[in-house]
Homo-oligomer: A and B are copies of this chain.
Amino acid sequence: MTPIILVCSQDAELYLLLAHVLHSEGFEARLAASEDDVMDACTSEEISAVLLDCAGWPSDLAPLCALLKGTGLSVGALIDGNMRAQHLQLIKAGLDEGITRPLSPSKLLAFLQGIRPRSEAVTRSSFAVPAEFVFEPHAVVVSGKRISLAPMEVRILRFLLERQGQISTRQQLIEAAWPDRHAVESRTVDVHIGRLRRAIAELRDLRVRTVYGAGYALEFHYG
């Protein structure tokens, strides 16, 4: 079931760009240009999250935010950096994520894919690799065993360890393990996962699990 994101804006171009980005990340986008549109959309479809465009909306969005939060929806908002009072109002209304302009698509996507806000992301980045794992450029040492790995396999394994069992999409793996702006097909990830699996096959407590239609997660049993 493709999650549907309701974009509340009267900025047509922003919507077109966002719709494109969302679509290519596995979301569907819907446009609401008025409060009536918002009500109609929430009634007729199962909306997964709402994105409020503060610059592209003629009135104060805090009441609408409160209403949407009252229905249990996740709500994010695009907020101008200089509109602090508005930001505060939205936070009081229960806003889940404020995304300041200029908009960073990756932060928006992180919000939509359930990744915690940056402050928590920073906290989580201190989730280091468990001490049992010692990485080398072409290998990993764990449980007294030294496993040869290609550099790409090393990067993927390290990332999955840092994620501590959470599901990673292929796109997240690409962003984490490939050099910046390096475009590869998502099925390239699948092939590397297979290579990593074969390389670590002899480790009984470590396994890469496939989550159908979502991505991959690491299972590691400490002992």
Residues of A within 8 A of B (CB): 2, 11-21, 23-29, 101-106, 181-183, 185-187, 190
Contact = CB atoms under 8 A, between A and B. Distances in A.
A3 to B, nearest CB: 10
A110 to B, nearest CB: 12
B105 A20 contact: yes
Interface pairs A-B: 6 shortest CB-CB = A13-B102, A20-B105, A12-B102, A187-B187, A17-B17, A26-B183
A181 B21 CA distance: 11
Contacts of A27: 183
A43 to B, nearest CB: 20
Contacts of A24: 21, 24-25, 183
28 contacts: A2-B182, A11-B102, A12-B102, A13-B101, A13-B102, A13-B103, A14-B102, A15-B102, A16-B102, A16-B103, A16-B105, A17-B21, A17-B105, A19-B105, A20-B21, A20-B106, A21-B21, A23-B181, A24-B24, A24-B25, A24-B183, A26-B183, A27-B183, A28-B181, A28-B183, A185-B187, A186-B186, A186-B187
A192 to B, nearest CB: 14
Contacts of A11: 102
Contact of A2 (B16, B183, B187): B183
A20 B26 CA distance: 14
Contacts of A187: 185-187, 190
Nearest to A12: B102
Nearest to A186: B185
A181 B25 CA distance: 11
Nearest to A30: B181
Contacts of A29: 181
